[in-house]
Structure 1
């Protein structure tokens, strides 16, 4: 971003002159002062190495955006990514300053005098501002359709910044996770396992308060406390009870899709593994909720739309890595498609939507979703020949 592109295009994508003029007026401006050259800086799904002249980004479309950055040392090694989500309003002017000592954006806003001076000199500052990469705007909107102010406020860290590497501190005994059988009991019964020995050697750490994503906790079990053995089996095969238990924690059930989308972009743009793990859990929960599909039709329609948008922007090699790990995505989607296909309560429109997503996945990744009602011995994706 040392030499911003011309106004008529962004990253090689032609921009209509009327749109460019409108964005110059209505688009937001983010000014970042004193950012060191070589810093990895990005907005949403794009990033660049800053140059000597970089001072920020202009023509940012109003709405939610993910600003992220990684400081670089003298050997061009990048620090773990840090980011924050900001809802830019029409023609907003946001100024921030880099803290050289902390190698991070300063938590203290520039003085009102500095901000006013920057606004007055915006015309001369313009040449140092790179335009928002408009070629990703439609895709970004598709990834964040249900991410609203309520979801952002509820789920983002108290500190306001999302870090790919969490700040950890020692966990005292009172704060350690409880539940399940203790190591001491297992030791008395069967001796200390290799896994237990390794666990005891590891330091007990927890995220520093206020730095972790505040994502909704999924139920610890899929069945009610008074469930019979038969009901336990039923709820283990169909996660609808657990899905309802989670939805009951939300003010609006559709927020589960907003949280799914937020977790995904925090991983995609913010490189947060915690967010990725939460995304996987939500995908598994929704894909396994057979009985809920017809009862929560609006949620599942948005879920299919969201998955379609997410799959389109994920690099194929990353998704293949996911598949190689317990075949998670393929296995869960196959289960979802099978449930939708077999259900007489699911309407034709939702079934057509599922078929469209199936066809896209088969075309892009060569996944085989035929014979969905047959129980598979091997969960691995089957590659089909298109010849």
Structure 2
């Protein structure tokens, strides 16, 4: 006698048209007529999105949380990684809305919708037995790759399970600083389903006002506007305090630690005289926004999120004093960046090509400068930031062939052309890094200006 059907956390997507592009966390695929949802969702944050085609189409999605969402308020890795707690009755129902070509939560606004939801849940066992539910994977695991399948006819079950466990840990490491409050700040108030569970909607066209492509003289109707992101205000052109002059202003332009600290204190949710413990909340706002921005750029190719991710990284990686003054925070950012870089190839064509960045050249330059700052600041002293950076350095060297040691980079040299002629070449922006040429400091005699 077969055991009774026990539902696991599942998201149902009734009436989803076949050949719809579907993504859940770091997995994406094209739906079939027999696809009705995903089963076996682990605790924590998830992002489900769709598009009419695999490329060049608007992607619409939403963040939701499996398990007690109060756990997500604490930013605790342990709470998000808990499994098997009375969560087997979490059934989410997102119905296809043909008018907007997107999935929306079934809200149970009337008796008809409540009865519809009951029918879907009653049919869950039938869908499970007939293969209509996709088993959750946070990403494609190595044990399931075609190369390994060709080499080994029978995969070891324990090894496959460990690989999927590692994959889920990867996803949690990319989302463990998200909170309902942070998502509401960035995206706006969530919608709720018939059980009152929130869902934060995002599309590839959503944008912060600073990144919006508004054309003067053209008025946009309500149907043409997407929700506006409320990102942390990062101004890289003004990184000094009000009233700063002279040396203080120059140093703050070169070392953005003051601007980083000011941003942290402003979003710590406490008065101006915050303590280091209070500032931790502001630091978590930055790390959480880094996670959100990266994943929205990675999964739905949101341009504004990509720009904010780059702005935050530039602010952090050019904050020299923060390496020692905010060591735990800086080490966490470097570890997060490594986890994010490991997922960049999940995008077809490569993550760094999404806005023509030239293979991540902006990030290579930032990391090269940051490594120089780091070596000078720690000067051989044991540091969590250096430990994290050494691991990141080794990985980008292996995967991208990036050399982050400035002294190892050839900046000028002779190049021999096909006809034998030799010409002197130099790396673009070498003068900027060395503060020479047009980038050299200018000394002004103030007596001559009087």
TM-score norm. by structure 2 comes to: 0.65
Moved more, 261-270 or 366-375: 366-375
Q: Which residue of 2 aligns with 1:363?
A: 398
Q: Please give the residue correspondences for 1:364-383 in structure 2 after superposition, counting only pairs within 5 Å.
A: 364-371=399-406, 378=427
Question: Residue 30 of structure 1 is aligned with which of 11, 14, 19?
Answer: 11
Q: For each residue in 1:332-378, what CA deviation from the matched residue of structure 2 results, as whole angstroms up to 9, or x when unmatched? A: 11111111111148633432221121111111111112245999673
Secondary structure of 1:42 counterpart: strand
- Alignment equivalent of 2:172, drawn from 112, 132, 141: 141
**Contact preservation (8 Å) 2:16, 2:36:** yes
Contact persistence 1:43–1:66 (CA under 8 A):
yes
Selected match of 1:217 from 216, 233, 240: 233
Deviation at 1:83, TM superposition (A): 1.1
Counterpart among 247, 265, 290 of residue 230 in structure 1? 247
Give the structure, 1 or 2, with the largest relative contact order (CA under 8 Å, sep 6 or more): 1
Query: Is the counterpart of residue 71 in structure 1 residue 56 in structure 2?
Result: no
Q: Once structures 1 and 2 are overlaid, which stretch shifts more, 63-72 or 128-137?
A: 128-137
Corresponding residue number in structure 2 for 1:81: 59
Report what 1:97 is aligned to.
95
Displacement of 1:77: 7.4
Q: Residues 373 and 257 (structure 1 numbering): CA distance in 2 closer, same or farther, change over 3 Å?
A: farther
Matches of 1:324 and 1:77, distance apart in 2? 20
Secondary structure of the residue aligned to 2:62 is: strand
Take 2:256 and 2:221, find their aligned partners in 1: how far apart are those partners? 29
CA-atom RMSD, angstroms?
Answer: 3.3
Give the drift of 1:324: 2.0
Does the residue aligned with 2:45 lie in a helix, a strand or coil? strand
Give the counterpart of 1:152 among 180, 183, 190: 183
- Looking at structure 1, the residues matched to 389 and 221 of structure 2 have their Cα atoms a distance apart, in angstroms, of 40
Q: How far apart, in 1, do the equivalents of 2:259 and 2:207 lie?
A: 31
Matches within 5 A, 1:197-346: 203=218, 211-219=227-235, 221-251=238-268, 252=281, 253-315=283-345, 317-319=350-352, 324=358, 327-344=361-378
Please, which of 202, 206, 212 is the counterpart of residue 162 of structure 1? 202
Q: Does structure 2 conserve the Cα–Cα contact (< 8 Å) formed by 1:66 and 1:85?
A: yes
Closer, same or farther in 2 for the Cα pair 1:300/1:200, shift >3 Å? closer
CA-to-aligned-CA distance 1:41-97 (integer Å, 9 cap, x gap): 11011111111122111111111011110125xxx8763111111111233111121
Structure 1 pair 96–374 and aligned structure 2 pair: CA distance change class (3 A)? closer
Structure 1 residues 373 and 254, CA gap change in structure 2 (3 angstroms)? farther
Label 1:348 to 1:210 Cα distance change in 2 as closer, same or farther (>3 A). Answer: same
| Superposed CA offset, 1:107-150 (max 9, x none) | 65252222222222221121311111254423212212322333
Which blocks of at least 5 consecutive residues in structure 2 are unaligned? 68-86, 142-166, 191-199, 269-280, 412-425, 431-450
Describe the SS at the equivalent of 2:228.
coil
Q: CA deviation at 1:203?
A: 4.1
1:176-212 deviations in whole A, cap 9, x for unaligned?
Answer: 98xxxxxxxxxxxxxxxxxxxxx98774769977712
CA–CA separation in structure 2 for the residues paired with 1:94 and 1:107:
8
Distance 1:105 1:248 in 2: 38
Mapping of 1:1-20 within 5 angstroms?
none
Measure, in 2, the Cα distance between the counterparts of 1:167 and 1:264. 14
User: How many Å separate the matches in 2 of 1:77 and 1:374?
Assistant: 38
Mapped contact 2:296–2:302 kept (Cα < 8 A): yes
Question: Is contact 2:21-2:30 (8 Å) kept?
Answer: yes
Range with bigger deviation, 364-373 or 95-104: 364-373
The equivalent of 2:415 in structure 1 is: none
Asked whether the 8 Å contact 1:322–1:328 carries over to 2, the reply is no
The alignment covers a number of residue pairs equal to: 328
Deviation track 1:317-343 (CA, whole Å, cap 9, x = no partner) reads 433676528831011111111111111
Q: Structure 1: which 5+ residue stretches go unaligned? A: 1-20, 169-175, 178-198, 382-387
